[in-house]
Chain A
Amino acid sequence: MQTPRSRLRPRVAPWLFLTPAIVLAAGLMFAPLVYTVILSLQGRKVPASGIGVATEVFVGLDNYIAALTNPALLGSFLRMLAYALLSVPLTMGLALVFALLLDNLSTRFARFSRISIFVPYAVPGVIAALMWGFMYLPGVSPVGELFTMWGWPVPDPLSGGSVFLAVANVSIWGGIGFNMVILYTSLRGLPQEIYDSARLDGCSEVQLALRIKLPLILPGVILTGLFTIIGALQVFSEPNMMMTLTNSITSDWVPMMLVYRDAFVTNDLYGASASAIVITAVTMIASLGILRLLRNRAFGNES
């Protein structure tokens, strides 16, 4: 008996496999996003002066205008960019260097180093921020103790321009290991025969790494780089934690902190919703733009 063509090209089945994911994504990602848009078009008003009870009213685009003309929002974007320009290249660069070094046959203690560098991945962002906070604060820093012992002035990484590097360091520290291991396993998957012939041709290890290995794992580098960039654009917990410890970080230091503060601390859920939509739109456009730019390199034959 001939199998009906519809059996060979199932049409309903794939949708059934996708149903749980679609339902959850719709309910937990898109519905909230839509709800945020709805909230962003509302506001609170008190009917009379004195102390009256506020009611929800429709305010149209007022919140958006306020968000877009808020100098603090622009400031937070710029600071976030400064942070990202430090954290992304350093994280990816160090991850790449370490991965290449690990793949080098002449490296000793490779396994120990690999596991050690991976350990920070186990530490949640808030805890990492607290630990590094202790390291940075001159009054309690063990590094400060060492410096005092050696007669040097105690540094204050959280003051002045170095605050960006100080905050970026927390996520660099946490992110190198994970990215390194991904790139390392990519390298491990490359066929070793290529190297042998290159070495016979007189290629040094460094040239091998840069001219042969790196281009071959470029898709992996781009992919991890992309996720690192997205993470940097959405940075929140590290600076939020450090804000309580130092004067140099304000409650709107990066865009996500501004949204959080408006929604949670100063009780302006509607304004926060508008800021959130603006920020999400910008980060989405930026991320999709970068993705499109690197699309072919990253995904190769994947559609």
Chain B
Amino acid sequence: MNSTLPRIVAGTVAAGLVAASLAGCSTSQNGDAAEGEPIVLRYWSWAPNIAQIVDVWNQANPDVQVEVNTSVGAADIVAKLSAAKEAGSLPDITNTTYENLPNLVVNGIAADITDAFGSYEDQIAPAAWNLTTFDDKNYAVPQGTGPQFLFYRVDIFESLGLEAPTTWDEYADAARTIHEADPATYLATFPANDAQLFAALSAQAGAEWWSQDGGSWQIGIDSPEATKVADYWQGLVDEGVVTTLKTWTPEWQAALADGTIASWLSAVWAPPLILQNAPDTAGKWGAVRIPQWNEGEAVSAALGGSGTVVTTGTAHPEEAREFAIWLNNSTEALNAYIENASIWPANLEGRELPGIKDAAPEALAPGFEDFYSLAEEIDDETVPVTWGPNVALAYSAFGDAFGTAITDKGSFGAALGAVQSAVAADMTKLGFTVE
């Protein structure tokens, strides 16, 4: 008698049962609460030390626990959220950079939270409010803003008799002086992988990468103002007075640490990163406004910044909104941030908290203790920026176009044109009206 068949069937069934049961008890994809058990909210964030801050909430709210996942980085988060949406497993709450918020809205990931947050307008810095509100609907609770700074090595400048540049012309001169004095040193790098910085510099010059007029979009990536910025940097790169290292590479980190690069165009959140990358340079950096195109002006654009989004996939919209608002506006949360991370809050009252204003970052040299007051001033000088729905594509195209231009010694202006075409084509394909 052939008893193979029953035994194999039995074996398969047994294996299948084991598999199914193991799959079941591995992870639960939603925070459904059984009777008497706390609600569990899943929160994705890459912010440093966020777990400590979330702990404060968890201790005060035993019936609503927040489980934070720090492993999804800022670069991947849009893609991972999209995949999670397709799979039906979105987290309840997530961090996002301001640039990616429109993308999340278009993809149906960011929920409209006007019902809970709409009344907060006068408590939030206008720039941050504008970055998270579309058609009078709020889609994220802003966490902070990113007023731009020029960080420079005070010791290197002083040794060459240089002062902090206030105009781009002075900046170029400083670059030449530094490079002439020591051909192995540069004032700065022009990083092809930092489209965010270039976008901010273009905005400072008056370019509007995306703008809306009624129902249609205009894309000004290669507008004359932006091209002016591209040509300026092309000049410096061609002269050889700035280098072309990509940021966040071992080479760049080494250059920052040993003085090969003497400055960094960045924002208010940079000092801890300087310390992390170049610990031996602590106390040697000055922080001033970024150079201007015209003498006497004071204009800049925000660089980065992020907000907290309640997703459309949450099973507990009320609690999620409560947490998102608490995280960025409550005194307890902001104090926890001060203790465990660095923050320049979008919440106006939060800026007055002790610990934010009076502590100057360690990386800075003596004489720059007014760092945060300066940040507040610069914040007020930022030009409003509109982000389109495909910023990730724009940044990726920028990296390719400018990387190629640097490698092939091509034109930066033409590279900008390539980015413009790519962005316009993508938006048209999606169905937007692009002029």
Q: Which residues of A contact B (CB under 8 A)?
A: 7, 12-13, 16, 19-20, 43-54, 66, 133-134, 137-140, 159-160, 244-252, 261, 263-269
A43 to chain B: which residues have CB within 8 Å? 429
Shortest Cβ distance from residue B65 to the other chain A in the assembled complex, whole angstroms = 30
**B102 beta carbon closer than 8 Å to chain A:** yes
Cβ B215 vs Cβ A245 within 8 A: no
Report if A251-B389 is in contact (Cβ < 8 Å); known contacts: A46-B106, A138-B251, A244-B249.
Answer: no
User: Is B108 at the interface (CB under 8 A from chain A)?
Assistant: yes
A7 surroundings in chain B (CB, below 8 A): 2
Is B34 interfacial (CB-CB < 8 Å)? no
CB pair B260–A251 under 8 Å, yes or no, is: no
Q: Evaluate contact between B404 and A137: CB separation under 8 angstroms.
A: no
A133 — which chain B residues lie within 8 A by C-beta? Answer: 250
Nearest to A246 among chain B residues (CB) is B246
Q: Min CB distance, B170 to chain A, in Å? A: 27
A50 CB to closest chain B CB, in angstroms?
5
A159 touches B433 (CB 8 A): no
- The smallest beta-carbon distance between A262 and chain B, in angstroms, is 9
For B212, the chain A residues whose CB sits under 8 A away are 50
Residue of B nearest to A252 (CB): B400
User: B21 to chain A: closest CB distance in Å?
Assistant: 19
Given known contacts A137-B251, A247-B192, A267 and B8 CB-to-CB distance under 8 angstroms: no
Contacting pair A134 B250 (CB below 8 A): yes
Q: How far is the CA of A53 from the CA of B252 in the complex (A)?
A: 40
Contacts of A250 in B (CB 8 A): 399-400, 403-404
Q: Are B432 and A49 in contact (CB under 8 A)?
A: yes
- Given contact pairs A54-B430, A140-B250, A264 touches B4 in the complex (Cβ within 8 A): no
Which of B53-61, B346-354, B390-398 has 4 or more CB atoms under 8 Å from chain A?
A: B390-398
Nearest Cβ distance between residue A248 and chain B, in whole angstroms? Answer: 5
Contact, CB under 8 Å: B260 / A50: no
- CB contacts (< 8 Å) of A159 on chain B: these are 407
Q: Which residues of B contact A54 (CB under 8 A)?
A: 106-108, 430-431
Q: Which residues does chain A contribute within 8 Å of B426, judged by CB atoms?
A: 266, 268
10 additional contacts (CB under 8 A) given A45-B430, A267-B78: A7-B2, A43-B429, A50-B212, A51-B134, A54-B108, A140-B254, A250-B404, A265-B79, A266-B393, A269-B86
Q: What residues of B have a CB within 8 angstroms of the CB of A249 in the complex?
A: 403
* Contact, CB under 8 Å: A51 / B216: no
Q: Is B23 an interface residue (CB 8 A)?
A: no
Which one of A13, A50, A140, A245 lies within 8 Å of B246 (CB-CB)? A245
A-B contact pairs, 21 of them (CB 8 A): A45-B430, A45-B431, A46-B106, A46-B431, A49-B433, A50-B212, A54-B430, A133-B250, A137-B251, A139-B245, A247-B402, A247-B403, A250-B404, A251-B396, A251-B399, A261-B396, A264-B76, A265-B75, A265-B396, A267-B392, A268-B426
The interface of chain B, by Cβ under 8 A from chain A, is 2, 4-5, 8, 12, 75-76, 78-79, 82, 86, 102-103, 105-108, 134-135, 192-193, 212, 215-217, 244-246, 248-252, 254-255, 260, 389-390, 392-393, 396, 399-400, 402-404, 406-407, 426, 429-433
CB-CB under 8 A from A16, the residues of chain B are: 4-5, 8
Q: Known contacts A51-B105, A159-B407; is A267 also within 8 Å of B82 by CB? A: yes
Q: Is the CB of B108 within 8 A of A53?
A: yes
Interchain CB contact under 8 A, B108 and A263: no
CB neighbours (8 Å) of A269 from chain B are 82, 86
List of B residues within 8 angstroms of A48 by Cβ: 215
Tell me the bound Cα distance from A133 to B251 in angstroms. Answer: 10
Roughly how many angstroms separate A223 CA and B86 CA in the complex, as a whole number? Answer: 40
Q: Are B250 and A139 in contact (CB under 8 A)?
A: yes
Q: Which of A44, A46, A49 has the most CB of B within 10 A?
A: A49
Name the residue in A20, A66, A244, A267 with the highest tally of chain B Cβ atoms < 10 Å from its Cβ.
A267
Residue of A nearest to B248 (CB): A244
| Cβ of A257 to closest chain B Cβ, rounded Å | 11
CB of A244 within 8 A of CB of B246, answer yes
Residues of A near B252 (CB, < 8 A) are: 139
The answer to whether B254 touches A247, judged by C-beta atoms less than 8 angstroms apart, is: no
Nearest residue (CB) in B for A53 is B108
